[in-house]
Amino acid sequence: MADTLLSLSGVHTHIGPYHILQGVDLIVPEGGVTVLLGRNGAGKTTTLRTIMGLWTASRGEIHFADHDITKLPTPDISRRGIAFVPEDMGIFTDLTVAENMVLAAAHGPMDAKRLGWIKELFPPIGTFWNSSAGTLSGGQKQMLSVARAIIEPRRLILIDEPTKGLAPAIIKAMTDALQELKETDTTILLVEQNFAMASSIGDTVAVMDDGRIIHSGPMQELAGDAGLQEKLMGLSLEAHQ
């Protein structure tokens, strides 16, 4: 049983008058990929943003590696070793690919070896190194977003729907990249609607609905049980491709 890297207990988040997270209890074990599933509006993105401090939890606690990070400001959370790949990718389109990467390497010059590895994972990074990030295609931007999150070693990476709207070939590339990442002892918390992709690399799964976690356990358990899938998601996840 792996150590707990990240834990949320009884987390509530309000956005204006809306009560989005209504008591989230989540455990993310160290190492491997934890997948967060759920239909649209369940609160998955809100959960990631709350962990990252972009929205503040109104109640509950968030612990990362035994530190209480519930009320910490975002930059401090990032510095503790959590990286964030948002749904809209957060690419700085006015800057070049190189400049995006330089910013991401907040602690000093980039490790050349690591950069080389990233360029192997995502060739367009190298190809478009000096081009404006705004000229990249959707898939390339997604790669850049992930590349930025991993240019420095992190303990936990939060990724929000990295394959949304991407062509199958690119999804494969992304999946392979995440697989390699997994092997470097980085823990990943992945929000993903594409169940096929999620089940291929996920180790643990948590399902959200109406701002709460309604199921959590090993991925294999859920992947092999169509009845359970239907009960949790309201429909067969096969349809989610």
CB of residue 76 vs other proteins: minimum separation in angstroms?
8
d(CA 31, CA 155): 9
Question: Which lies closer to other proteins via its Cβ, residue 88 or residue 210?
Answer: 88
User: Is the distance from CB of 218 to CB of 48 less than 8 angstroms?
Assistant: no
CB of residue 106 vs other proteins: minimum separation in angstroms?
4
d(CA 96, CA 68): 36
Question: Which lies closer to other proteins via its Cβ, residue 114 or residue 212?
Answer: 114
In the DSSP assignment, the letter for residue 2 is P
3-state secondary structure of 16: coil
Question: Which lies closer to other proteins via its Cβ, residue 41 or residue 134?
Answer: 134
Question: Which lies closer to other proteins via its Cβ, residue 135 or residue 241?
Answer: 135
CB of residue 158 vs other proteins: minimum separation in angstroms?
9
CB of residue 145 vs other proteins: minimum separation in angstroms?
9
d(CA 63, CA 112): 33
CB count within 10 Å of CB 206 equals 24
Closest to 19 (Cα-Cα) out of 208, 210, 191, 160? 210
Q: Which chain residues interact with other proteins by CB under 8 A?
A: 52, 54, 73-75, 78-79, 83-84, 86, 88, 90, 92-95, 99, 102-104, 106-107, 120-121, 123-124, 127-128, 131, 134-135, 137, 139, 148, 169-170, 172-173, 176-177
d(CA 167, CA 155): 29
CB of residue 110 vs other proteins: minimum separation in angstroms?
13
Place of tokens 């060739």: 123
With DSSP H G I counted as helix, E B as strand and the rest as coil, what are the percentages for the chain, rounded to 5?
40, 30, 35
Question: Which lies closer to other proteins via its Cβ, residue 89 or residue 205?
Answer: 89
